[in-house]
Amino acid sequence: MNVIFLGPNGAGKGTQAKLLQEREGLPQVSTGDILRRAMADPDSPLGTTARRFINRGELVPDDVMIEIIEARLREPDTTRGFVLDGFPRTIAQARALDDLLQAAGHAVDAVVYFEARPDTIVRRLSGRRLCRAAGHIYHVEFQPPVVEGRCDIDGSELYQREDDREETVRHRLSVYRRRTEPLVDYYRSRGILETIDAEADVEEVYRALTEILAARTR
């Protein structure tokens, strides 16, 4: 099953995609994680490009992103399905994805739209922490680790993303509204859009999500 997670930053897409991967074995393809890994390597040309855009809360250009996703979807773990978390973010990316999947005899099966209010998003993002080793996600208030500052799963250090500072978060939200929100109608008009109330807690959202996906595969 090929699924897209759509919705503003901080709506919980990454958290849910990681759970689906752990519990159902559906690989999470997170373009944000791919870019952050490149940024952690001082010799990576992709990392240098990505840093320029990400730290300002801007989108990385479409041609760069399309190339990344083409390469990632060629890897064998995605042939039986995947969750795209953070891609597509523009209409041009959505069209390129359609072409890519069509050429391989596949299609997008479902798009899950995570709906959340702006104040929820700002609260979630400003308390969000990630682990250095694998990007496991925590929240200082809502989902603290057992040992402060350390990942429960792999023990690596937790850090705050530079683009999770409040001012950058607000800018990212306005970019989201302008560039990414039009994708809601793009997929709704095809009858594959499902909306989830992303205000609920992690396990409640996960339950709703698995129900939606089960109904779509029936």
Report, as residue numbers or ranges, the catalytic residues. 13, 89, 128, 161, 172
Task: Give the nearer residue to ligand AMP in terms of CB position, either 16 or 93.
Answer: 93
Strands 193-197 and 110-115: parallel
We find the least distance from the C-beta atom of residue 14 to ligand AMP, in angstroms, to be 6
Q: Does 59 bind ligand AMP (CB under 6 A)?
A: yes
Could you list the beta-strand ranges (E) of the chain: 2-6, 28-30, 82-85, 110-115, 128-131, 137-139, 158-159, 193-197
Closest among 146, 194, 161 to 54, alpha carbons compared = 161
- 60 near ligand AMP, rule: CB under 6 A: yes
In contact, 78 and 87? CB cutoff 8 Å: no
Q: Cβ(73)–Cβ(157) under 8 Å?
A: no
5 by Cβ neighbours in 10 Å (0-12 / 13-18 / 19+) ranks as buried
d(CA 59, CA 53): 6
Dmax (CA) for the chain in angstroms is 47
User: Is residue 32 at the binding interface for ligand AMP, with CB under 6 A as the rule?
Assistant: yes
∠ CA 55-57-60, rounded to 5°? 85
User: By CB under 6 A, is residue 65 in contact with ligand AMP?
Assistant: yes
In angstroms, give the least distance from the CB of 92 to ligand AMP. 10
Q: By CB under 6 A, is residue 54 in contact with ligand AMP?
A: yes
Which of 29, 112, 172, 183 lies at the binding interface for ligand AMP (CB under 6 A)? 172
When the beta carbons of 2 and 93 are compared against ligand AMP, the nearer one is 93
Torsions phi, psi of 179, nearest 5?
Answer: -95, -35
Contact letters for ligand AMP, residues 134-153 (x by CB under 6 A) = --------------------
CB of 22 to ligand AMP, least distance (A): 18
9 binds ligand AMP, rule: CB under 6 A: yes
Nearer to ligand AMP, 52 or 207 (CB): 52
Q: Work out which of 87, 114, 138, 206 binds ligand AMP, going by CB under 6 A.
A: 87
Contacting positions for ligand AMP (CB under 6 A): 9, 31-32, 35, 53-54, 58-60, 65, 86-89, 93, 163, 172
